Amino acid sequence: MHVFKNLSLREIAKIEKVHFTSVQESVNSAKRKLKKFFEKF
Protein backbone atom coordinates (compact mmCIF):
# COMPACT_ATOMS: atom_id res chain seq x y z
CA MET A 1 0.00 0.00 0.00
CA HIS A 2 2.90 2.30 0.74
CA VAL A 3 4.12 2.24 -2.84
CA PHE A 4 1.00 1.36 -4.81
CA LYS A 5 -1.51 3.62 -3.08
CA ASN A 6 0.95 6.31 -2.02
CA LEU A 7 -0.01 6.03 1.66
CA SER A 8 2.27 6.96 4.52
CA LEU A 9 3.32 4.29 6.97
CA ARG A 10 1.20 5.98 9.64
CA GLU A 11 -1.85 5.90 7.37
CA ILE A 12 -1.32 2.19 6.72
CA ALA A 13 -0.95 1.52 10.45
CA LYS A 14 -4.22 3.30 11.12
CA ILE A 15 -6.06 1.39 8.38
CA GLU A 16 -4.62 -1.96 9.50
CA LYS A 17 -5.10 -1.11 13.20
CA VAL A 18 -1.51 -1.94 14.06
CA HIS A 19 1.36 0.05 15.54
CA PHE A 20 3.41 2.27 13.24
CA THR A 21 6.63 0.38 14.02
CA SER A 22 5.06 -2.90 12.88
CA VAL A 23 4.33 -1.39 9.48
CA GLN A 24 7.77 0.20 9.36
CA GLU A 25 9.49 -3.12 10.13
CA SER A 26 7.42 -4.94 7.48
CA VAL A 27 8.25 -2.36 4.81
CA ASN A 28 11.94 -2.38 5.72
CA SER A 29 12.00 -6.18 5.60
CA ALA A 30 10.39 -6.17 2.16
CA LYS A 31 12.92 -3.60 0.92
CA ARG A 32 15.82 -5.75 2.17
CA LYS A 33 14.39 -8.84 0.45
CA LEU A 34 13.90 -6.97 -2.83
CA LYS A 35 17.41 -5.54 -2.65
CA LYS A 36 18.87 -9.00 -2.05
CA PHE A 37 16.83 -10.46 -4.91
CA PHE A 38 17.89 -7.78 -7.42
CA GLU A 39 21.57 -7.96 -6.45
CA LYS A 40 21.68 -11.22 -8.40
CA PHE A 41 21.20 -9.36 -11.68
For residue 3, tell me if it sits in a domain.
no
For residue 31, tell me if it sits in a domain.
yes
- Structural domain span for residue 31: 9-38
pLDDT of residue 23: 96
pLDDT of residue 40: 87
Identity at 19, one-letter amino acid code: H
For residue 17, tell me if it sits in a domain.
yes
pLDDT of residue 41: 85
What is the chain's alpha carbon radius of gyration, rounded to the nearest angstrom? 12
Provide the residue-wise pLDDT of the chain in tens; the chain has 41 residues: 777 889 999 999 999 999 999 999 999 999 999 999 999 88
pLDDT of residue 27: 94
Q: Which sign does the torsion angle of CA 6, 23, 18, 10 carry?
A: negative
pLDDT of residue 32: 97
